[in-house]
Copies of this chain bind each other. A is one copy, B any other.
Amino acid sequence: MAQKYTIPKGTRDFSPEEMARRNYIFQTIQSIFKKYGYLPIETPAMENLSTLMGKYGEEGDRLLFKILNSGDFLKNLDTEDIENKNLGKVTTAIAEKGLRYDLTVPFARYVVQHLNEITFPFKRYQIQPVWRADRPQKGRYREFYQCDVDVIGSHSLLNEVELIRIIDSIFRELNINVVIKLNNRKILTGIVETINAPERLTDITTAMDKIDKIGVEKVYEELRGKGLDEDTINMLEPVMNLSGDNTSRLNCLKELIGATDTGSQGLEEMQTILGLTKQLDLKAEIKLDQVLARGLNYYTGTIIEVIAKDVSIGSICGGGRYDNLTGVFGLPDVSGVGISFGADRIYDVMNELTVFPEEALNSTDVMLVNFGDKEAAYSLGILEQIQQTGIKAELYPDAAKMKKQMKYADQKKVGYVLLIGEEEMNTGIYTLKNMKTGEQTKGNLEEILTILKP
């Protein structure tokens, strides 16, 4: 008996069936990135820990997978640090490299390192796995793919509009109805300035962002817990309770926070973006969401989040504008805007909605049955001619029982089976069986090809 061999927790194998679905998602995303003029880059799985550490907060540092130095990894180790259980110092002594935690920090490092080779504005996409030593749970893995698309070196809001169009194109193609929520860091700043609590930006926006999940009363409770007084909380009420379409929200916000410089600027940006998208043929619903915050400290302008309308699973895409991507690497003032697509969640959504197109899941178009050495040798020539037309085809490798060969074709979801026995060899008239309908057709190679090639 085979022993039990498994893979590390939080990681996954992908079977051919899963790969067909996953590749459909990746290919759709990639082809749309390309259609909008974005170019791919790739960075190594391993980065120096000096590049990664300190970029994701203390929790992030802990969740980095660290790679043991090769060779004599003990040589820089101070045994006192072991005795004191100083994990940080021991780690530094024995591990110089780590697995990338996201695609953003490696991208920032890439831009700084290759500054002289890059033409700005730099429109790049990157589809690669990332690793996090998170506690594995449903929908959360230790290895997962990110699909990032960013444009850096341009302040134009046309970039935001382009990303909205990309989101729309991708989810239209994938057959998922979505809401694209938009906000702006400057609107959030305007809100806290208006209620005279600018120093509480993070506390207030983090709490407000939860309104959809926990409801307005719990948000107030959280704010009270954080020491905000009732007056301030009362001043937040009109912002929290905004309703109506984007235009009326925008108008209300102008009245509420338009007196602050930053708020006014944020609203102007929002108005430009909403105006430009209005004339476009978008399928997605665009919604101004004045409480949307996401990873706030990171974003400096537009904030974007995408929600599937018909499946409740959280955000399936998100991003925004950041004005200091490469600052941590010593290159200030590089503005960029980008979004990231969550392939795993999109996969779950598409499975739940059963919207994977059947063509994407087909494997081989036609399988030639193997009737024996002589027939197989003859079939090889036919196989070659079939494949030369671009049709995916295979010859069953063994002269196994017909039942076994048909079972293989069935389980592999092969579209057609072609039978070339001795009689067929002599007449040049072959039998083609449609595996879905069971229908059988006879014909010469040319006629068979007409059926196989849609």
Q: List residues of A whose CB falls within 8 A of some B CB.
A: 1-3, 5-8, 11-16, 19-20, 23, 34-37, 39-48, 50-51, 62-63, 65-68, 70, 72-74, 77, 79, 82-83, 85, 87, 90-91, 94-97, 99, 109-110, 112-115, 117, 119-121, 123-124, 129, 131, 133, 142-143, 151, 154-156, 158-159, 161-162, 165, 276, 279-281, 326, 329-331, 363-364, 367, 370, 376-377, 380-381, 384, 387, 390-398, 407-408, 411-412
Contact = CB atoms under 8 A, between A and B. Distances in A.
A29 to B, nearest CB: 14
A46 B66 CA distance: 12
A380 B276 contact: yes
Contact of A41 (B19, B63, B85, B407): B19
B363 A329 contact: no
Nearest to A393: B37
Contacts of A384: 165, 280-281
Contacts of A65: 46, 67-68, 70
Given A68-B68, A87-B72, A155-B398, A37 B392 contact: yes
Given A45-B129, A79-B82, 15 more contacts: A3-B330, A7-B46, A8-B46, A11-B44, A16-B41, A20-B40, A23-B40, A34-B392, A62-B70, A66-B67, A66-B68, A74-B85, A121-B396, A162-B395, A279-B377
Nearest to A329: B5
A45 B44 CA distance: 12
A38 B35 CA distance: 29
**Cβ-closest 6 pairs across A and B:** A37-B394, A11-B44, A16-B39, A156-B397, A70-B133, A37-B364
Consensus secondary structure, chain A interface: mixed
Contacts of A326: 2
B279 A36 contact: no
Nearest to A397: B156
Contacts of A393: 35-37
Nearest to A169: B387
Nearest to A33: B392
B44 A68 contact: no
A353 to B, nearest CB: 23
Contacts of A87: 72-74
B48 A19 contact: no
Nearest to A19: B40
A35 B392 contact: yes
B91 A68 contact: yes
Contact of A161 (B7, B47, B380): B380
Contacts of A77: 82
